[in-house]
Structure 1
Amino acid sequence: MQKTILIVEDEFVIAMDLKVMLERQGWRVLGPVAGVANALRLLEDERPTVALLDVNLGDQLVTLVAEALRSRGVPFAVASAYDKPELVGGAVLAGVPNVGKPTSERNLLEVLAKLSTS
């Protein structure tokens, strides 16, 4: 079964780079989406294997998406330059893997492999 990933990232170039990188590795990408409402709509229709979230989405925080993922049992990571994303996006982000921003392909794939097998 092909693994799916929801990407929530508001910076177009970063989102497209992630999409291409992950598709090249055999992932099916949902999105990428740049906002909370679009991410929540996608989650109504499909349950991804994992998700990768940017903490700041323009003038929104990804908190509601993280809460929706957690309630559905979908593991997720953040891609953030913040050392402690939970201080910005709330307690739902505490202890969540942070692949950093920018991230390396190797680091991202290692984190996603751990998440998708847990």
Structure 2
Amino acid sequence: MTKTILLVEDEFLIAIDLQMLLERRGWTVIGPAATVREALSLLDDSLPSVALLDVTLKDGLVTLVAEALRARNIPFIVASAYDKPEDVAGEVLAGAPNVGKPADERDLLKALERHVH
């Protein structure tokens, strides 16, 4: 089974670091998307196994992307410095694992594996 991940991160260097890390670990990365609009467009073209979401993007909060993922039954993980991302971007983020920002590599990979299998 191919492990695919939608990467939604608007900070270029963080996005590239995450992409390289994930690809080294066997993931096929969709994106990275730096905006809500770009992420939604990628979702129209592909259905990833899981998504990794930053909370605040160049064009707003990630809320609409999280809602689109839930509607498609695609699990997601949040990478945020906020203690409670749901307080910022809405209840749709409640219960989603938050690996922090910057994300610890081991914690991130463990969280992704748990949500794909």
Which bracket does the TM-score occupy, shorter chain normalised? over 0.9
In structure 1, stretches of 5+ residues that fail to align are none
8 Å Cα contact 2:35-2:59 kept in structure 1? no
Q: Does residue 100 of structure 2 align to residue 109 of structure 1?
A: no
Q: Does residue 50 of structure 2 align to residue 50 of structure 1?
A: yes
Cα separation, 2, equivalents of 1:15 and 1:40: 17
SS at match of 2:98: coil
8 Å Cα contact 2:6-2:50 kept in structure 1? yes
Could you tell me the TM-score, scaled by structure 1's length? 0.97
The equivalent residue for 2:64 is: 64
Q: How far has the Cα of 1:59 moved from its partner? A: 4.4
4+ long deviations beyond 4 Å = none
8 Å Cα contact 2:36-2:59 kept in structure 1? no
1:27-79 per-residue CA deviation (whole Å, 9 max, x = no partner) reads 00000010011110111111000000000013400000000000000000000
Amino acid at match of 2:53: L
Aligned residues with identical type, % of pairs? 66
The equivalent residue for 1:82 is: 82
Amino acid at match of 1:82: Y
Could you tell me the TM-score, scaled by structure 2's length? 0.98
SS at match of 1:77: strand
Q: How far has the Cα of 1:26 moved from its partner? A: 0.2
The equivalent residue for 1:22 is: 22
Amino acid at match of 1:58: K
